[in-house]
Amino acid sequence: MNLFDLNKVAQAMVAPGKGLLAADESTGTIKKRFDAIKVESTEESRRDYREMLFRSKDAMSKCISGVILYDETIWQKAKDGTPLVKLIEQAGAIPGIKVDEGTQPLPGCPGELVTVGLDKLAARLADYYKQGARFAKWRAVIDIGKDIPSMTAIHVNAHALARYAALCQAAQIVPIVEPEVLMDGDHDIDRCYDVTKRVLNKVFQELRIQRVALEGMILKPNMVISGKKCPKQAPVQEVAEKTIRLLKECAPAAVPGIAFLSGGQDDEEATAHLDAMNRIGGLPWKLTFSYGRALQAAPQKAWSGKSENVPAGQQAFSHRALMNSLATKGEWKADLETKKAA
């Protein structure tokens, strides 16, 4: 493991004004997204859509530091034969890869899940590195409900996250450690705070046990936020303050950066929360975004599977990327949402 090089990649992933595009939707997930815009999900249509994003020059070169890819995508070539990985690199961004293989029910813990995919991961990482991937992602899912999460679910998922991270660093790949406490449910923001604190403390305990170098990783957590079904939704400033307070308690300063997931928030909501956190200032880590739907919902709708709509889709993507770029610097304003990206 060359920690200097890992840290260099990690720092580039959270470069000022830039964040990550999570384009790693599974085949099943992107089919649902395409169904919503009445586009058939085929290998070709998925390729065309992602090529449209990666060829959005303004967004990719100015606002996107890296792209998380799905296994299918990292091997694909654009219509002109250029590997999609090369398109990302030519834009000045870093290719990354999702390496977990989804979730399965956790035995003995009704309603809880464990992420799988550690078997043969070392070999897969070596192949991905050869293909150009310099960082990876593994998502653990923690739900909040009656009597859950259990300590068992937190421990098992934290252990797997740390094992994955150690394997990544051994393969000279920066791990994105993503313990997602879901915002589904009717819990309030304080319940989210308590559960996320338990999860992050356990994750960092496991990372230390498995000798993961914190300087060579990125944390991708949920924000401290009210559940979607909670009758009282916490305002933007409360979300920002409680998220920062929690991270100061749980996230060591050695971690180069924190790239938040949007977790089902609306586009502008995710941007507003990130902006409010960066306005607080005086933080030991860089705060940025690692958004999927919050960056892609608008361009997907504008594109709608039609080649003549590619410029409109790219403009929509560039606008959302710019809004989140501004949020990483605490410079976003709501009235900017009505203006087109430059």
Q: Looking at the annotation, which residues are catalytic?
A: 178, 220
Give alpha helix (H) positions in 14-42: 27-36
| Residue type at 258 in one-letter notation | I
Quote the tokens at residue 101.
């293989």
Cα–Cα distance, 49 to 314 (Å, whole number): 10
Quote the tokens at residue 241.
């303050």
Cα–Cα distance, 310 to 56 (Å, whole number): 9
- The count of other CB atoms within 10 Å of the CB of residue 223 is 27
Q: How far is CA 147 from CA 73, 109, 110, 144, 153, in A?
A: 39, 10, 10, 8, 12
| Residue type at 203 in one-letter notation | V
Quote the tokens at residue 126.
């070596």
Q: Would you put residue 221 in left (φ > 0), alpha (ψ -120 to 50) or beta?
A: beta
Cα–Cα distance, 236 to 242 (Å, whole number): 10
3-class SS of residue 136:
strand
